[in-house]
Structure 1
């Protein structure tokens, strides 16, 4: 696994542009039943245990790219946008009234192991695959969920990604204290030349999903930390 912290880059604005229009589609549960035209929806949930300690430990891992790192998915080229042009997420109160935008933190937002925390507007390259078959995929964090009982983030695909769409990784704690991880996505091939890579990714989707959903389970997380 490779992670590179924020550093200077030769990326231009076009490299950071998302390659799909339905930004934020994964926020809604209904997107699974009513996906954007031409997109394939997916959702799966795994129970991780219960209790505040379990939730907090899983959230800390999730928000420092742990779900990818533990799954063996390489994450590199983490970049923070220019703060003056940063992707600012709008927060809402319980009545749906918009509050002040949530401005992303600076490069000091690091996890305990020195890995940058997930921030709205951050760009990265993730690398999917099995064995010698690897597919680099540029993504951008389009929104972050930071609530007392809900933590997570969604990655949108950028130009150069074999897919077009969005994937949400959401950790929740219910009224009984049970902790669950949900993965929700809407995806399609970004263009004709990426039909084969997308087909290969879908062939391995079951194994990929199993790895992702179990990544924050206490047994795997403890082994990773060790």
Structure 2
């Protein structure tokens, strides 16, 4: 299966990337501070743990995010959203990945999940995406669909903060 959009990988170099005709999403959440928090957050993002903690079901072709890994996200037990990881990175101060939509996904576009540790030691999760409706029900949802996307991104941040709470105490 091929991707359902042309700008594959656009979020790798620029998390604010948003091709014409797409809606942008950019949600940044403070997770904590320090190396242990960064390492825990990076591991939770790269191994799908953060997504599972949000409550979605994931069917993946690998235990860890890497280019060409197929991922099907199931929302509310009803909506299946097939994707493929387009890039992944693991650096000393930045880790994450992005997936792009495949045929059958209710949206068309790309979504990235990146943990970074700034110069002052603060650890952040950025969820960035560009998308547009691909299915009738996503189009019918209009602004409500985009609101749900923002809520999901905020839930990712809250879940990751919870997962990293023990590392913050260490």
Give the alignment's TM-score, normalised by structure 2.
0.87
What is the alpha-carbon distance in structure 2 between the residues aligned to residue 55 and residue 47 of structure 1? 11
Q: Does structure 1 conserve the Cα–Cα contact (< 8 Å) formed by 2:74 and 2:81? A: yes
Q: Equivalent of 2:61, from 79, 83, 89?
A: 79
Matched, 1:24 2:24: no
**Cα shift readout 1:141-199 (whole Å, capped 9, x = no counterpart):** 00001211110000100011011000000000111111000000000012556423676
Query: How does 1:45-124 map onto structure 2 within 5 Å?
Result: 45-76=28-59, 78-79=60-61, 116-124=63-71
Deviation track 1:86-136 (CA, whole Å, cap 9, x = no partner) reads xxxxxxxxxxxxxxxxxxxxxxxxxxxxxx11111100100124xx7x311
1:213 Cα deviation after fit: 1.5
1:141 matched to which residue of 2? 85
Q: Which residue of 2 aligns with 1:126?
A: 73
| Partner Cα separation in structure 2 for residue 121 and residue 206 of structure 1 | 26
- Per the alignment, residue 174 of structure 1 pairs with 118
- 3-state DSSP of counterpart to 1:204: helix
Unaligned runs of 5+ in 2: none
Q: Residues 41 and 163 of structure 2 are in contact (CA less than 8 Å); yes or no, is this contact kept in structure 1?
A: no
Tell me the C-alpha RMSD between the 2 structures: 2.1
Q: 1:30 to 1:203 in 2, by over 3 A?
A: closer
Query: How do residues 127-206 of structure 1 correspond to structure 2 at under 5 angstroms?
Result: 127-129=74-76, 134-192=78-136, 194-196=138-140, 201-206=145-150
Query: What is the CA distance between 1:137 and its match in structure 2?
Result: 0.1
Q: Which residue of 2 aligns with 1:210?
A: 154
TM-score using structure 1 length: 0.67
Q: Are residues 203 and 46 of structure 1, via their aligned partners in 2, closer, same or farther at CA, if it must alter by over 3 Å?
A: closer
Aligned pairs, number? 165
Task: Give the distance between the partners of 2:24 and 2:150, measured in 1 at CA.
Answer: 14
Give the aligned partner of residue 11 of structure 1. Answer: none
Q: Which one has a bigger Cα radius of gyration?
A: 1
